Amino acid sequence: MESREETAITTGAAALVAAVDSLTALSLIPLPDTDIVELMQQIETSTRRLASVQRDLIVQACARSLPTKNGSGSPALYLQAVLHISHGDAINRWRTAEDLAVWHRVGDEPDPAPVLPCSAQALDDGAISLDHVRVIRQVMNRLPSKVPAEARAYAEEELARQARALDPTHLPRIGERILGYLDPDGKLTDDDDRQRLRSASASPQRYDLMSTLTVELTPDARGAFDAVMAKLARPGMCNPADKESPWAEDEDNPIPRDVLEACAARDERTKVQRQHDALLAVLHPDFNPAKLGSHRGLPVSTILTMSIEDVERVAGVATTATGGTVPVPEALKLVARRSKTFVLVKNKDGMPLHLGEARLANPAQRLALIATERGCTRPGCSAPASMAAVHHVTEFCKGGRTDIENLTLACDHCHALVKDGPRGWKTIKLGADSDFPGRTAWIAPAHVDPSGTPQVNHLHHPDELMAEAPPSLRPGRVCRAWGLSPVRYRVLRRVATPPPRQ
304 SS3 class: strand
Say if CB 300 and CB 262 are below 8 A apart: no
**What is the average pLDDT value for the chain, to the nearest integer?**
77
pLDDT digits (tens, 9 = 90+) for 442-457: 999 988 888 999 999 9
Question: Counting Cβ atoms within 10 Å, is residue 151 exposed (0-12), middle (13-18) or buried (19+)?
Answer: middle
**Positive or negative: CA dihedral 102, 168, 159, 305:** positive
The end-to-end CA distance of the chain, in Å, is 93
Give pLDDT tens digits for 221-261.
Answer: 887 788 788 878 889 988 999 988 987 766 566 778 888 88
Q: What are the b/e assignments for 330-339, b being 16+ CB within 10 Å?
A: bbbebbeeee
pLDDT of residue 475: 40
Summarize pLDDT for 259-272 with one digit per residue, the tens.
Answer: 888 999 999 999 89
Distance between CA 346 and CA 24 in Å, rounded? Answer: 57
Instruction: Report yes or no: 466 and 177 within 8 Å, Cβ to Cβ.
Output: yes
| Contact present, 111 and 105 (Cβ < 8 Å) | yes
**Residue 344 in contact with residue 371, Cβ under 8 Å?**
yes
pLDDT for 493 beyond 80: no
pTM: 0.49
Residue boundaries of the structural domains of the chain:
30-182, 217-295, 374-465
Q: Model confidence over 374-422: pLDDT tens digits?
A: 889 998 888 888 788 888 888 767 777 766 677 888 988 898 898 888 8
CA–CA separation, 194 and 191 (whole Å): 5
Total Cβ atoms within 10 A of residue 309: 16
Neighbours of 19 (CB within 10 A): 11
Looking at the chain, the number of H-run helices and the number of E-run strands are 19, 13
Contact 76, 62 (CB under 8 A): no
